[in-house]
């Protein structure tokens, strides 16, 4: 039986700004020197973030129409995505003309012809390459996308590429005293991350995509939203989300692991989407993890912020850069729905 393997991961990051700089230059004034906003920024555990929008532009961007924001996305996203995909292809020792499927996940920008077409032309990809755009799914999009392209690779025995690209800075909302907007603007960041799946094993370390599972609590769909408005996309993020994740993550992960003869203590590494410090604390609680189990996710949150769908791939890249674990890896991500996704990955032996 053919199994899809992660052969390489690549990233491309816009300019980096310190959280302190963004607070002093932009958000102190955006939130009218609110002490609550300052506490939220300080307590975010984010030290640096990436932004394709320069801080000097933020005041103007907050008043841009959605059409203006989409035009900027169309200018910035293609070269950023191209860098990430080329880096992943190089890491996987794969040529563009081998690719049978390109999947692009994004919830921060749309147009047609879209980012997938731009990449197909620039790489270039073969004319028969399939393309799939996964839009407006949110922070967990990388894992359902991974499941989809893994099925393709196993069935067609051709390599595939997944790109997750988010420009959340384009969705700065007009000034307000809404705590949910304070939290959102304290956490989110811009990034592109890509991975290559191949059907073959080589001497290079590879991770087999063993299984992907999901769990959705539709009764809590109001707790996380991403609404299209005339002034960009507006995040809704309830303070109840961490409690919901703590309730659901244990049953999700234990069922996934149990199907393959594993349990939580067997997991060698956790690639958990760092939605925020309270999210990571909730996963710790829900799974009863060792205090250091999510150290890589906390490091990525500190160094990159929450980059929406790209973040879990950044965590996985960080784990692999430290040396491939000898046992199973579980990747976890969360988004609107309220939805949890988990992927079980295992190194080739």
User: What's the pLDDT score for residue 173?
Assistant: 95
Between 2.60.120.560, 3.40.47.10, 1.10.10.60, 3.30.2290.10, what CATH number should domain 207-347 receive?
Answer: 3.40.47.10
pLDDT over threshold 80, residue 201: no
pLDDT at 291: 87
Q: Is 2's pLDDT higher than 80?
A: no
Instruction: Tell me if domain 5-198 and domain 207-347 are identical in fold.
Output: yes
Work out the pLDDT band at 202, boundaries 50, 70, 90.
low
Cβ-contact 149, 101 below 8 angstroms: yes
Does the pLDDT at position 75 exceed 70? Answer: yes
Count of CB atoms situated within 10 Å of the CB of 158: 18
- Give the pLDDT score at 148: 97
Q: What is the pLDDT of residues 22-48, one digit of tens each?
A: 999 999 999 999 999 999 999 999 999
- In this predicted model, what pLDDT tens digit does every residue of 216-259 receive, in sequence order? 999 999 999 999 999 999 999 999 999 999 999 999 999 999 99
Here the tokens at position 17 are: 């700004």
User: So what's the pLDDT on residue 280?
Assistant: 97
Tell me the whole-structure pTM to 2 decimals: 0.96
**Tokens of residue 319, six digits:** 């784990």
Topology of the domain covering 5-198: Peroxisomal Thiolase; Chain A, domain 1 (3.40.47)
Torsion region of 32: left, alpha or beta (phi above 0 gives left; psi -120 to 50 gives alpha): left
Distance CA 4, CA 197 (A): 6
How many percent of the chain have pLDDT more than 90?
A: 93
CB burial string 59-68: b at 16+ within 10 A, e below: eebbebebee
User: Any idea where the domains of the chain sit in the sequence?
Assistant: 5-198, 207-347
DSSP notation for 151-211: HHHHHH---EEEEEEEEGGGGPPPP---HHHHHHHHHB-EEEEEEEEESS--SS--EEEEE
Which tokens sit at 214? 């999901």
């Amino acid at each position: 039986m053919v199994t899809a393997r992660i052969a390489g991961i690549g990233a491309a990051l816009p300019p980096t700004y310190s959280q302190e700089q963004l607070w002093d230059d932009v958000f102190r004034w955006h939130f009218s020197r609110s002490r609550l906003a300052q506490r939220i920024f300080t307590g975010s555990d984010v030290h640096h973030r990436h932004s394709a929008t320069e801080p000097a532009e933020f005041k103007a961007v907050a008043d841009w129409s959605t059409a203006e924001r989409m035009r900027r996305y169309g200018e910035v996203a293609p070269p950023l995505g191209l860098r990430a995909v080329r880096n992943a292809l190089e890491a996987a020792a794969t040529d563009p003309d081998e690719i049978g499927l390109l999947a692009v996940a994004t919830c921060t920008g749309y147009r047609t012809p879209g980012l997938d077409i731009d990449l197909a032309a620039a790489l270039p990809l073969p004319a028969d390459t399939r393309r799939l755009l996964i839009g407006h799914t949110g922070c967990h999009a990388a894992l359902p996308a991974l499941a989809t392209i893994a099925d393709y690779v196993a069935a067609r025995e051709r390599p595939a590429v997944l790109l997750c690209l988010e420009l959340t800075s384009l969705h700065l909302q007009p000034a307000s005293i809404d705590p949910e907007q304070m939290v959102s603007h304290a956490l989110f960041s811009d990034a592109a991350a890509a991975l290559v799946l191949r059907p073959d094993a080589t001497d290079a370390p590879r991770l087999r995509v063993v299984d992907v599972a999901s769990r959705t609590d539709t009764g809590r769909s109001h707790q996380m939203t991403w609404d299209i408005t005339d002034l960009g996309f507006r995040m809704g993020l309830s303070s109840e989300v961490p409690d919901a994740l703590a309730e659901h993550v244990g049953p999700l992960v234990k069922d996934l692991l149990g199907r393959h003869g594993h349990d939580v203590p067997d997991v060698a590494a956790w690639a958990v989407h760092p939605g925020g410090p309270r999210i990571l604390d909730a996963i710790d609680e829900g799974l009863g993890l060792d205090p250091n189990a999510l150290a890589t996710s906390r490091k990525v949150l500190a160094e990159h912020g929450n980059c929406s769908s790209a973040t879990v791939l950044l965590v996985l890249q960080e784990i692999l850069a430290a040396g491939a674990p000898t046992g199973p890896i579980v990747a976890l991500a969360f988004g609107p729905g309220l939805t949890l996704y988990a992927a079980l990955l295992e190194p080739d032996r």
